[in-house]
Amino acid sequence: MWDYSDTVKEHFYNPRNAGPLPDANAIGEVGSISCGDALRLMLKVDPANETILDASFQTFGCGSAIASSSALTEIIKGKTLEQALEVSNQDIADFLGGLPPEKMHCSVMGREALQSAVANYRGEEWKDDHEEGALICKCFAVDAVMIEETIRANNLCSVEQVTNYTKAGGGCSSCHEGIEEILAKVLAERGEDFKPAPPPEKKVPGKLTTLERIRKIEQVIEKARPNLQRDHGDIELVDVDGKNIYVSMKGACAGCQMEAATLGGVQAQMVEALGELVKVIPVKATAKFAPNTLPA
């Protein structure tokens, strides 16, 4: 259970300014319902002085996403567009009395929605810049530009912090090296040294018993579940047949655009944990013994 402040709980159970804003003249949309949190921010702006007269939101996501969206609308009402653009994701978190580290990405999404809405009002095409940088985290589709900007804006200094703020690195962990390279670059510009966490010692696996093998498979699945559950998805172990591990993707993960990448990340962890080549197969894609399975 996350440790939420009373203010977060209040804005979750009684969100301010939730719902459509019929006379909105600025709309910003970020995120994806199919892959997790999504936010639509609507503003009513006075053309005479660009003051935000009213603000409303519609969101799909966890309690922190709802609370962060509610807080954002309260913060920006009465401000000019330029003043509103100065609001940072940390300002949103501070307004709420803090957010759990694992939920800071919700405040980042609020700031991006605001930037999108202002661009919409001004007739500009807003780009989150994520498509302009190399894709670092394939599990959550986070690129180098977003990671670097978030590190700079929030003075981050570890892979764990980057994961909390952007989700990058929260899946299969194969992108940690790429995140560390970006951290090293930004910290060097600050005159600081980046000290990566020491890698875990790798032990040469011996021959596993059937029970030990099943337990390791279950441990990998359980490790992957929290990050997927945050986005209203889940993964469950269905069956193990030799080198073929059958899983079921649930909720938002079923049919998600990033499903293949997520399964690939889980499969990589399975291979490392078991010390053997295995294939992770979604149940919906096969009648169990499909042609593309690995021979036992």
Whole-Å CA distances, 36 to 166, 176, 177, 227, 279: 12, 21, 25, 10, 25
256 is in an annotated binding site: no
157 is in an annotated binding site: no
253 is in an annotated binding site: no
For residue 120, give the DSSP letter: H
For residue 18, give the DSSP letter: B
Active-site positions read 35, 106
For residue 43, give the DSSP letter: E
Q: Token digits for 214?
A: 């099943």
Q: Token digits for 271?
A: 């291979």
Gyration radius (Cα) of the chain, Å:
21
35 is in an annotated binding site: yes
137 is in an annotated binding site: yes
**One-letter amino acid of 259:** E
**What is the separation of C-alpha 273 from the centre of its chain, rounded to a whole number of angstroms?**
25
Q: Which residues are annotated as a binding site for [2Fe-2S] cluster?
A: 137, 139, 172, 175
Q: Which residues are annotated as a binding site for Fe cation?
A: 35, 62, 106
Q: Which residues are annotated as a binding site?
A: 35, 62, 106, 137, 139, 172, 175
